[in-house]
């Protein structure tokens, strides 16, 4: 009986050792970092939902969401200091032209929701009306080119627009400082302004020209990540797609999740923004995140025609639908 007892104890010990040895290997999560393009907002809701609902964990990932700081999302992803990032089509296009190998793996929002905003009392209802007005910008060459492009279609004169670089001054502050119009994303800044009782006129870029209906924002990774860790990219996109689908289907609950993980956000603003944006994540695409080559080539051609792009750009290499789980190919 004694030797039988020793054998049983021995078998139990071996079994326990096996469980201890194997268990961490089985449950070990791949650590990845996602860098945002700005402070947390409803463009990022799907990421925070995937975190809170444990979609990342189910996909075998331990995800850390960070803000960009001094380095941009494009720089951090390209250098390998972040695995994924939130960017925009223009940024990816310019990066690839100078040899930075980042790739867009999903369109967060299917159509461009940005445009030039002004108070309804400004009288700016078309690009021609920008004459004699003051634009508050952030100092990018694309701003003047964009305004000029829109005005030219209506025989407007860009030289009659005062363009003032106001840096990082926010929209509401800029209005108080006498700025007449400003480039915003309506789903956040526009909603915020109207919540404060301000009535706006919006000139949406997507309404002005087909090539201006570009993807902003997008999710990015590096070419090396795709080549060397495609399974990680696939797992990440499975979780993120579930996160954005949840935000599409349950905007109020998704807004609650975003606020809970970012308590400094204005809950009322988040809920209203989420309500406005949720139907626009996927819009008319066959599934969330899908991108079209024509959109990438169209905006690149527009940039070239306005001397904003110097070099060769291959739209086929700038994006991929290969990691979209639901009918992305």
Of 314, 29, 312, 304, nearest in space to 145 by CA: 304
State both tokens at 143. 């701003």
Average pLDDT over residues 85-94: 97
- Strands (E) located in the chain: 30-35, 61-66, 84-87, 102-107, 114-119, 134-137, 162-165, 181-185, 200-204, 218-222
Instruction: Quote the pLDDT of residue 168.
Output: 85
Assess whether the region 33-111+215-318 and the region 114-212 belong to the same CATH fold.
yes
pLDDT of 329 above 50: no
Q: How far apart are CA 146 and CA 148, in angstroms?
A: 5
- Of residues 327 and 50, more confidence is placed in 50
Q: Which of 81, 79, 82, 78 is CA-nearest to residue 92?
A: 78
| Arithmetic mean of pLDDT, 268-288 | 98
Work out the mean pLDDT of the chain and round it to a whole number: 91
The closest of 320, 37, 226, 48 to 328, measured between CA atoms, is 320
Q: Please, which residues bridge with residue 102 across strands?
A: 222
| pTM score of the predicted model | 0.89
pLDDT tens figures, 46-62: 999 999 999 999 999 99
DSSP code per residue over 90-150: HHHHHHHHTT--EEEEEESSSS--EEEEEEGGG--SSGGGGTT-EEEE-S-HHHHHHHHHH
What integer pLDDT is reported at residue 59 of this predicted model?
Answer: 97
- The architecture of the domain spanning 33-111+215-318 is 3-Layer(aba) Sandwich (3.40)
Percent of the chain with pLDDT over 70: 91
What is the rounded distance in angstroms from the CA atom of residue 57 to the CA atom of residue 53?
Answer: 9
pLDDT above 60 for 197? yes
Distance of CA 96 to the CA centre of its chain: 18
- What is the average per-residue pLDDT within 88-104? 97
Give the pLDDT confidence score for residue 40 in this predicted structure: 97
Q: Supply the CATH classification number for the domain 114-212.
A: 3.40.190.10
Determine contact, residues 57/29, Cβ cutoff 8 Å. Answer: yes
Task: Give the pLDDT confidence of 241-263 residue by residue, as tens digits.
Answer: 999 999 999 999 999 999 999 99
For residue 238, count CB atoms less than 10 angstroms from its CB and return exposed for 0-12, middle for 13-18, buried for 19 or more. buried
CA dihedral 109→111→112→113, nearest 10 degrees, is: -70
What are the boundaries of each domain within the chain?
Answer: 33-111+215-318, 114-212
Q: Say if CB 129 and CB 249 are below 8 A apart.
A: no
Mean pLDDT of 161-177: 94
Measure the CA dihedral 193/198/199/200, to 10°. Answer: -40
- Look at residue 28 in the predicted model and tell me its pLDDT: 84
First to last CA, the chain: 65
Segment 95-106 shows an average pLDDT of: 97
% of residues, the chain, pLDDT over 90: 89
**Does 34 have pLDDT greater than 70?**
yes
Q: Is residue 6 very low, low, confident or very high in pLDDT (cuts 50, 70, 90)? A: very low
Rounded average pLDDT over 158-163: 97
**What is the pLDDT, as a whole number, of residue 27?**
55
Return the closest-CA partner of residue 327 out of 270, 277, 296, 285.
285
């Amino acid at each position: 009986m004694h030797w039988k007892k020793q054998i049983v104890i021995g078998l139990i010990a071996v079994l326990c050792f096996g469980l201890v040895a194997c268990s961490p290997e089985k449950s070990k999560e791949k650590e990845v970092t996602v860098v945002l393009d700005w402070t947390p907002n409803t463009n990022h809701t799907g990421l925070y939902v995937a975190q809170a609902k444990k979609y990342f964990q189910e996909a075998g990932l331990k995800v850390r969401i960070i803000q960009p700081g001094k380095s941009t999302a494009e720089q951090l992803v390209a250098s390998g200091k972040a695995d994924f990032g939130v960017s925009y089509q223009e940024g990816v296009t310019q990066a690839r032209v100078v040899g930075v190998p980042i790739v867009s793996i999903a369109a967060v929002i299917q159509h461009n929701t940005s445009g030039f905003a002004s108070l309804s009392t400004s009288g700016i209802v078309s690009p021609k009306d920008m004459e004699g007005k003051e634009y508050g910008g952030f100092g990018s060459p694309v701003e003047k080119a964009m305004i000029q492009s829109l005005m030219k279609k209506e025989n407007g004169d860009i030289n009659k627009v005062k363009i003032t670089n106001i840096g990082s001054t926010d929209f509401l502050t800029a209005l108080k400082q006498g700025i007449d119009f400003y480039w915003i994303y309506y789903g956040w800044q526009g909603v915020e302004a109207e919540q404060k009782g301000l009535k706006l006129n919006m000139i949406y870029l997507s309404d002005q020209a087909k090539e201006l209906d570009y993807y902003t924002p997008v999710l990015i990774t590096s070419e090396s990540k795709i080549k060397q860790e495609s399974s990680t990219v696939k797992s990440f996109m499975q979780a993120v797609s579930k996160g954005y689908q949840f935000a599409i289907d349950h905007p109020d609950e998704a807004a609650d999740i975003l606020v809970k993980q970012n308590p400094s956000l204005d809950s009322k603003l988040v809920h209203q923004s989420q309500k406005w944006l949720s139907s626009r994540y996927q819009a008319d695409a066959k599934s969330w995140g899908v991108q079209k080559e024509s959109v990438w080539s169209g905006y690149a051609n527009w940039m070239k025609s306005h001397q904003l792009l110097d070099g060769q750009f291959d739209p086929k290499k700038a994006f991929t639908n290969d990691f979209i789980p639901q009918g992305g190919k």
